[in-house]
Amino acid sequence: MSVLAIVSLKNGQPTKGGLEAASYAAAYAKSLGTDAVALISGSIDGDGGLGATGVQRVLVHAGGITDSSQWAKLGAAAGLEIGADATVISHDHFGRAVGPRMAVRIGAGMVSGVTALPKSGLVRKNVFSGKAMADVAVKQAKAVYSVTPNAFGIASDGGVATTESFDAEVGAVREQVVSFHAASEDGQVPLPEADLVVSAGRGLKGPENWGIVEDLAQALGATTACSRPVSDIGWRPHHEHVGQTGITIRPNLYIAAGISGAIQHLAGVNQSKVIVVINTDPEAPFFKAADYGIVGDAFEVLPRLTAAVRALNS
Amino acid sequence: MKILVCVSQAPDTTSRIAFTEGGKVFESSGVQYIVNPYDEWYALVRGIELKESLGGSVTTVTVGSAACDPVIRKALAIGADDAVRLDVDPTDAMQVASLIAGYATDKGFDLILCGKETIDHNGSIVPAMVAEMMDWPFIALASKLEVNGRVASVQRESAGGTESVEVSLPLVLSAAKGMAEQRIPNMRGIMSARSKPLLVESGQAEPATEVQEFTLPPPKGACKIIPAEQAEELIRLLREEAKVI
Ligand SMILES: Cc1cc2nc3c(=O)[nH]c(=O)nc-3n(C[C@H](O)[C@H](O)[C@H](O)COP(=O)(O)OP(=O)(O)OC[C@H]3O[C@@H](n4cnc5c(N)ncnc54)[C@H](O)[C@@H]3O)c2cc1C
Ligand SMILES: Nc1ncnc2c1ncn2[C@@H]1O[C@H](COP(=O)(O)O)[C@@H](O)[C@H]1O
């Protein structure tokens, strides 16, 4: 028995989600007294930082595949090779395609979006958009877990992993990636991966006022987000929309200015570790979900916060 | 274009979340059920748009008891042609996927459109399982879908941006924001939905996982209010107390 981590690459390096999956696999393997093995497709420098997460071996498939059906076949073959009962993958577009396919292929039970290690046969995940948690039992001998972004963290105290080449029959390509468009040209961390997020809503009154939001984000090294009406009316790009019908995020810090805190908005952000709310209305529902609040005008408060961050950094 | 849209019901987002039987069962009394938003706003509407431009049909499939019928009628009112309900009250994604794949096999569908996830279980598992069971290609979190002959051009969310992917049909995909705009059913749609076919089939499939217990998160501590004139104090607290910056 060992634990397999399936790790996707971007520009020759493991993705953040891939490193989180490897860290989770390594910690779980350790709790079982066994080894964790990572599987990649493509090429990396050395062990690509995977050893540091606690993984002992990296199986390198040279093909650089992206097709979800090919990945499921590759993952199933690797699992068989190392005798894995548990497979761990990221809960992003990659894991949501490959994880369930692999579960079907190997007859495993799958629990998606886990937030903690399995314990006594149960694993925890968030349900009802973060309004409740479920402890789930897998009824099959094998399990596939996908790890919620930012829930588990990336370990860095491991060693160096050995790499070995691995090949398997993966079948034909049917999904062909033709191009990639970066969400932002200004080098911001993409929203689903961001640790720090500064977000604003209709209280900002118009797109011309977003400079104060961007300034604070830039000072903090944070990514900008917005409420749904703001992206619907075109004040901000669609990819910034967080909430029930937009992106779900889980940063360490979420600062919300001029957002009322409607339940559909909260559904996308209430798993943030620390929430700060800035609103002129002391009765705004968002304060109930916040850790820190400032009752005040965003047009005055945001620049003061930016100045304070810059003072701290200099 | 023969299109199947997977439609599930979900508790309205404003529902009170509570559990009974020692945390095992969701308390559904007094809960208003809606069409799972990703299924309705994105998958179903895009399916109907494709049918309108390319011809063909849109069938919806739902795994669930008769309690799902109002939600299925809503999907018909929005513009699906007919509906199938597989009469099993499911507890797990593997079970739902087996029933859907079992139904869809050999029916000649070109596309199976799902939502990104159900807003109660937040699984995001069923769609890719259906794809694997059918041995079809699959794209998760698709925000755009165009079909040209037997090739679909799809955009999907990916780390740091969007990817354009070309995929051969038949295809399963899960739809996210951007795929289509919400449609409100009009009176004619609502009237005609009453007489559209809703076929009920029995079925059987085993779940692969089981929820042992639901729990509510611990209540959030009180919000610490910082006076607006001392906004700088917030930054100090974020660094020294919360340790997040
Ligand atoms: C099915 C469904 C799905 C939805 N999905 C989403 C979703 O994914 N994401 C989402 O965000 N919404 C979603 N919504 C919409 C949601 O219900 C709210 O309407 C929306 O979040 C409100 O946006 P807002 O807070 O920016 O605007 P408002 O509700 O108009 O709030 C503006 C806030 O700014 C404050 N304010 C005004 N001036 C200032 C100032 N100078 N300084 C500081 N504060 C100020 C006001 O007091 C107010 O609280 C959804 C709705 C439905 C029905
Ligand atoms: N009971 C169900 N009946 C029909 N479709 C479903 C059902 N459950 C899930 N789906 C489809 O699969 C998608 C993802 O669901 P899930 O994997 O449960 O998050 C949903 O958005 C639906 O399109």
Atom of ligand 2 nearest to the CA of B127: 12
**Shortest-distance Cα residue to atom 48 of ligand 1:** A260
- For residue A124, the number of C-alpha atoms closer than 13 Å in the C-beta half-sphere is 13
Taking only the tens place, the pLDDT of each residue in B146-168 is 999 999 999 998 877 889 999 99
pLDDT at A311 over 90: yes
Q: Of the residues B35, B116, B118, which should be mutated to test ligand 2's pocket, given the most ligand atoms within 8 Å of the CB?
A: B118
pLDDT of residue B202: 97
Tally the residues of chain A. 314
Each domain of chain B, given as residue ranges in start order, spans 2-217
pLDDT at A137 over 90: yes
Mean pLDDT over A265-291 rounds to 96
CB contact under 8 A, A308 and B133: no
State the pLDDT confidence band at A95, using cuts at 50, 70 and 90: very high
State the pLDDT confidence band at A106, using cuts at 50, 70 and 90: very high
pLDDT of residue B221: 85
State the pLDDT confidence band at A185, using cuts at 50, 70 and 90: low
Q: How far is residue B133's CA from residue A257's CA, in Å, rounded to a whole number?
A: 46
Substitution target in B124, B163, B243 with the highest count of A β-carbons within 10 Å is: B124
Q: Which of B38, B121, B209 comes nearest A137 by C-beta?
A: B209
Taking only the tens place, the pLDDT of each residue in B167-195 is 999 999 999 988 999 999 999 999 999 99
pLDDT of residue A184: 67
pLDDT at A186 over 70: no
**Shortest-distance Cα residue to atom 12 of ligand 2:** B126
Fold of B2-217: Rossmann fold (3.40.50)
Substitution target in A174, A195, A273, A275 with the highest count of B β-carbons within 10 Å is: A174
Only one residue has tokens 């990636």, namely A177
- Written as one string, the DSSP assignment of A214-264 is HHHHHHHTPEEEE-HHHHHTTSS-GGGBBSTTSB----SEEEEES----HH
State the pLDDT confidence band at A17, using cuts at 50, 70 and 90: very high
| % of chain B at pLDDT higher than 70 | 100
pLDDT of residue A209: 97
CATH classification of A191-313 is 1.10.238.10, yes or no?
A: no
| % of chain A at pLDDT higher than 90 | 87
pLDDT of residue A198: 98
A2-165 and A191-313 share one CATH topology? Answer: yes
Structure ipTM:
0.92
Mean pLDDT over A31-44 rounds to 97
CB contact under 8 A, B125 and A96: yes
Taking only the tens place, the pLDDT of each residue in B57-73 is 999 999 999 999 999 99
Fold of A2-165: Rossmann fold (3.40.50)
Mean pLDDT over A263-285 rounds to 95
CB–CB of B10/B37 below 8 Å?
yes
pLDDT at A53 over 80: yes
pLDDT of residue B191: 95
pLDDT at B11 over 80: yes
Each domain of chain A, given as residue ranges in start order, spans 2-165, 191-313
The enclosing H or E element of A106 equals helix A93-106
| CA-based nearest residue to A48, from A73, A74, A22, A82 | A22
B133, with CB counted inside 10 A (0-12, 13-18, 19+), is buried
pLDDT of residue B170: 98
Task: Output the CA torsion B121→B122→B123→B126 (10° steps).
Answer: 90
This prediction's pTM = 0.91
State chain B's mean pLDDT as an integer: 95
pLDDT of residue B220: 80
CB contact under 8 A, A110 and B208: yes
